[in-house]
Amino acid sequence: MNIAGLLRSSLFCSTENGLSMMHPGLPAGWAGLVGIAVALLSIRVLATAHAPIVNFRFRWTPGNRWDLVLRSVSALSPLLLQILKFALVVIFLLIVVAGLFGTPIPQRNLATVLTWNVWWAGLILTIFFAGSLWCAVCPWNTLAGWLVRRGRAGNATPNNSLNLKVPRILRNLWPALGLLIGLTWLELGTGLTRNPRTTAILALFMVAIATLSLAIFERRAFCRYFCPVGRTVGFYSQLAPVELRPVDAEICARCDTLACYHGTDQVEPCPTHLVMGRLTENTYCTSCSNCVRGCPSKNVSWRLRPPSIEIIKKARPHWDEAWFMLCLLALTGFHGLTMMPLWEKGVSSFARVVGDSGSLLSSFTVFLSLSLTVPAIVYAGAVGVTYQVTSRKVPFKKLFSSLAFVTLPLAFAYHLAHNLGHVVRESDGALSLFLNPLGTGASPLSVIEKQSRHLDMLISPELVFALQAGLMVFGFWIALKVLHHRGLALLPQGTPAAAGLAPMVLLAAGFTGFHLWLLMQPMIMRL
């Protein structure tokens, strides 16, 4: 396998934006290995449906060295979070200034490079190691707090806010899902990633929504119900190997203050209405550490856990959450499709057929709608077959919500593999932009500079391909573990286990195959 030759042979392509850099797809050899692993795992889970799949060997023992390290980190986390918050606000404001007043050349402007090449691509990678840490230091939330509370952090007494309850109709994930789809439409349909000014305006818009929400509703309603990034981070955090939990469950059971929920005179309450003693999932935890500081017994700490144990056993199924996870799966695949060389040709051809002219937004919207509809139909079909196999003894809605957890590791694995390619190939030169964030006097990247950046990767191409292939297998394996635990629990007594699991196993294999095909295609760089 000649990796260097593969890199040189698929370096550039011509698009409506000019000559764009491309990165090579996953070699056929790696894809073949993934295919073999998927086939073997599928056969094994169907042939031994009642036998346990290989489990993670992990046991948490309070008092061990990792426990002591993580408790030390928990004690220091409030101070560390304040430092990170301040640093990220400074960077955020720099991005806004650069976007509004800097060069329109996207590769030379700090706003576009840092937002789309570094943050948006790298955010998903950090979740795998740090869970929802981003939510704890998010500059949107920090600035909103400063504006509404006027710097009064760490006090549970309401101030400068109406503190109204969120209307029941909005107490779900539909607002966040709508914003996620809308942001995808803006990002990919309008060329937002190539426009520093609109990137800065979008950043300010998100701060405005967070501020308005904090000024009207109680606690952090924006984080809990409206933020598309936060809810994406929350769902993916279910697969993370870290969690913020009680050190001793018995202490929480005897607690009569619920300081983690209500707060204290010095510490704000949980921003998303969580009670630490009953917390079983990371979905709505923002890692803010209010519970760490507010607990009078100092009974809250970070701890390690088996990755994905939450979606396998602990997370509870809900209708709106099922749709959010399903849309995450659809949108991650759609991102990959839009970065293929044939994408623009396909959209342009469709636009000519339907008479769409100009920016082709109508045609793009049609394709985006199809990308959301087709996976939903396929998933609903697989659930429908399972519903028939179980003789309709389990309600369809319950099956739909419970089995949706199978889609989460598939989406996360592909999202990680896809973003890995962007981060290692497109981050070169980002730090140098801090010396000239506005891009003053800068000229567009030359062909030689584009080629140099493309080849100067953070890690070797062989390692990138190995990691991408490994992530595909890992995501499919976790999906099978989820299906094995949740699927068998749903099957009525007397239902053949292999027959009951087969539709969803085929669904998981099909989506993995689609993601694998996407990874094998040459991808156009963001900028």
CA-derived radius of gyration, the chain:
24
Could you tell me how many residues make up the chain? 527
pTM exceeds 0.95 = no
Strand-pair partners of 164: 217
Backbone region of residue 226 per phi and psi (left: phi > 0; alpha: psi in -120 to 50; beta: other values): alpha
Identify the three-state secondary structure at position 298.
coil
Question: How confident is the model over 227-265, as pLDDT tens digits?
Answer: 999 999 999 999 998 888 898 889 998 998 899 998 888
Amino acid at 177: L
Question: How confident is the model over 352-385, as pLDDT tens digits?
Answer: 887 776 667 888 899 999 999 999 999 999 999 9
Q: Is residue 284 exposed (0-12), middle (13-18) or buried (19+ Cβ within 10 Å)?
A: buried
Mean pLDDT split into 10-residue runs, the chain, 527 residues: 44 50 85 96 82 48 53 64 91 95 90 89 87 92 87 56 92 96 90 90 95 93 95 94 88 90 88 91 91 89 84 89 96 92 81 75 90 96 92 90 95 94 77 84 74 71 93 96 88 80 95 96 75
Q: Which residues contact 513 (CB under 8 A, 6 or more apart)?
A: 35, 38
Contact 394, 495 (CB under 8 A): no
Question: At 293, phi and psi to the nearest 5?
Answer: -80, -30
Strand-pair partners of 14: 19
Kind plus residue range of the DSSP H or E element containing 22: strand 18-23
For residue 8, the model assigns a pLDDT of: 43
Q: Which residue has the tokens 């370096």?
A: 11
To the nearest 5 percent, what fractions of the chain are helix, strand and coil? 65, 5, 30
Q: Pick from 194, 91, 100, 117: which is nearest to 429 by CA?
A: 117
Four-residue CA torsion sign, 83, 86, 92, 95: negative
For residue 526, the model assigns a pLDDT of: 63
Identify the three-state secondary structure at position 301.
strand
Contact 272, 285 (CB under 8 A): yes
Report d(CA 181, CA 417) in Å as an integer.
Answer: 21
Report d(CA 141, CA 136) in Å as an integer.
Answer: 9
For residue 2, the model assigns a pLDDT of: 44
For the chain, the structural domain boundaries read 7-50+322-427+447-524, 65-305
Q: Which residues contact 256 (CB under 8 A, 6 or more apart)?
A: none
For residue 293, the model assigns a pLDDT of: 86
Distances (CA, A) of 358 to 143, 350, 362: 38, 13, 10
Q: Which residues contact 168 (CB under 8 A, 6 or more apart)?
A: none
Amino acid at 312: I
Q: Which residues contact 524 (CB under 8 A, 6 or more apart)?
A: 13, 15, 20, 21, 22, 339, 340, 341
For residue 69, the model assigns a pLDDT of: 56
Mean predicted lDDT score pLDDT of the chain: 85
CA 134 from centroid of its chain's CA atoms: 11
Q: Pick from 480, 475, 127: which is nearest to 282 by CA?
A: 127
Contact 244, 300 (CB under 8 A): yes
